[in-house]
Structure 1
């Protein structure tokens, strides 16, 4: 149907070289580190994901995930299109990791705990085994803030979704703790509050959907614009420290009077 020349036109593997003319002989294939992997899910991770949402210990889940193998889906995407016949035909395709847009608008990179889970979601995707850290690094490099695990066939939900702070913790190779218990967040907030004379005290608490709730006890008699300045100053300080910002998924304030 097309007179255009494709990448593999005329190539004969039996001739002893690849499509670029480089001989097969003398090459050494290195292992992936998962040579004996049968594609099954890590039993500990599978057991934790099987629990109801309210019964999951997220800190334990991320810790187990950090030592588990994940499956990242890779799909073919056209990099060159031949239209010489009048009908667009993929002339050259590259392999790329799958990225999605989550319902809340965030970029997402899906990962799977087993080849069976991936095949149920997309039987055409190529399974690539990686460590959780490598998967998280790939997500960060692609600008993906969340990682859904074991997506069900469209439009099904994920078994669990790693929030941005979890993705960063895995990528950095450090332990994940909830932001209201994180010593780095606590220290940065203490410094931010110390810069605000209008704040008499503060407290960190868990907020909805993984958010950090900061309670500020304000001195009485403040005007509305003064309160706004306090909130802006504290929020900007937390957001301005990269190490702190990576540990916070969302931030909410609660105000009380000292």
Structure 2
């Protein structure tokens, strides 16, 4: 995906408890059947994940259907995130050298290696956690990463624990879908999520704040220019982008000079920033100014 850079070297820190447990349940260096992970193809029988009985490593059917509906214009981003509520995903875990020793010949050899989550850096500098809907997609992206199967809600909890504001589904695949911060939080808490540009309660709250500024006649919430994503084949997907997710159109009365407009927008943004609902439900926004019709 163009707005997500290469994987970042994982920091040396303890894995979230549920990820560590899932990793331990997978057998550490081997799977629960005693077979080593090294050299696994993640195809056919190798794709079976023992933490999830009868799991063949393929993508969740509900997620696949929701993404297909989104691409065809029959469904929205909220349906894709809703499908993740019960979906299994794979988190990539990689070995990271924690300690090394010098041999008798002056060479350095691995003495101890920790396992660490892989994170990404988004174009705006934020940290993102990658997750994969299939074992094959993870293997294609990072052949040396170990797939740990968890429910997507648990992956969202891992993102929060890692300080990641974005959950990136299937980076490098045909369709990469980014769950933005409010969606990540909702998924982690197993709550429903509504995109900010479709949120009537949020619109009402933001409108009440704007009513304190006489020069604002009305406002309108629309999808931001960062909502759409681009698939590998070049087609536009109307959702799953990294943001800005919300466009706020302010209709202003005539007569304001540039300084007045700047002061008004700054004051309005300050009002919104103090609003709890706004903080919970808005990931990123852009403001457009329009002259109010006579």
Q: Aligned equivalents of 1:179 and 1:141: distance in 2?
A: 24
Equivalent position to 1:240, from 237, 253, 274 = 274
TM-score where L is the length of structure 1: 0.76
Q: Cα distance, 1:117 vs. partner?
A: 1.9
Q: What corresponds to 1:47 in structure 2?
A: 65
Flag structure 1 segments of 5+ consecutive residues without an equivalent: 1-31
* Number of residue pairs the alignment of both structures matches: 224
1:90 and 2:110 aligned: yes
The SS at the match of 2:62 is helix
Spell out, residue by residue over 1:82-131, the C-alpha distance to the aligned partner (whole angstroms, 9 max, x if none). Answer: 23553333221111111122344332211011222222222322221111
Q: How far, CA to CA, are the matches of 2:90 and 2:215 in structure 1?
A: 50
* Cα pair distance change 1:190/1:54, threshold 3 Å: same
The CA deviation string for residues 200-240 of structure 1, in whole angstroms up to 9 with x for no partner, is 22222222122212122223322322211211122223233
- Which among 84, 97, 103 is matched to residue 65 of structure 1? 84
Counterparts in 2 of 1:2-81, with a 5 A limit?
Answer: 34-50=52-68, 53=71, 55=73, 57-81=76-100
Q: Is 2:124 the counterpart of 1:107?
A: no
Q: Give the Cα–Cα distance (whole angstroms) in 1 for the partners of residues 216 and 279 of structure 2.
A: 21
Match in the other structure for 1:13: none
Return the offset for 1:57. 2.4
Q: Does 1:218 align with 2:252?
A: yes
Q: Which secondary structure state, in structure 2, belongs to the residue aligned with residue 231 of structure 1?
A: helix
- Alignment of structure 1 residues 119-130 onto 2, 5 Å: 119-130=139-150
Cα 1:73/1:158, change in 2 over 3 Å: farther
Larger radius of gyration: 1
Contact 1:106–1:145, Cα closer than 8 Å, also in 2: yes
Contact 2:84 2:153 in 1 (8 A): no
Deviates more, 1:133-142 or 1:83-92: 83-92
Q: CA RMSD in A?
A: 2.5
CA–CA separation in structure 2 for the residues paired with 1:200 and 1:50 = 39
The match for 1:204 among 221, 224, 232 is 221
Deviations 1:143-193 (A, max 9, x none): 2222221233xxx67532222332222123221212122144223312321
Q: 1:193 to 1:160 in 2, by over 3 A?
A: same
**Residue in 2 aligned with 1:188?**
205
CA distance in 2, matches of 1:114, 1:140: 22
CA 1:121–1:257 in 2, change beyond 3 Å: closer, same or farther?
closer
- The answer as to whether partners of 2:223 and 2:247 remain within 8 angstroms in 1 is yes
Distance in 1 (alpha carbons) for counterparts of 2:270 and 2:85: 31
Counterpart for residue 4 of structure 1: none
Counterparts of 1:206 and 1:95 in 2: how far apart (Å)? 39
Aligned residue in 1 for 2:12: none
Query: What is the distance in 2 between the residues matched to 1:46 and 1:195?
Result: 45
The residue number in structure 1 matching 2:161 is 141
Q: CA 1:157/1:108 → structure 2, altered by over 3 Å: closer, same or farther?
A: farther
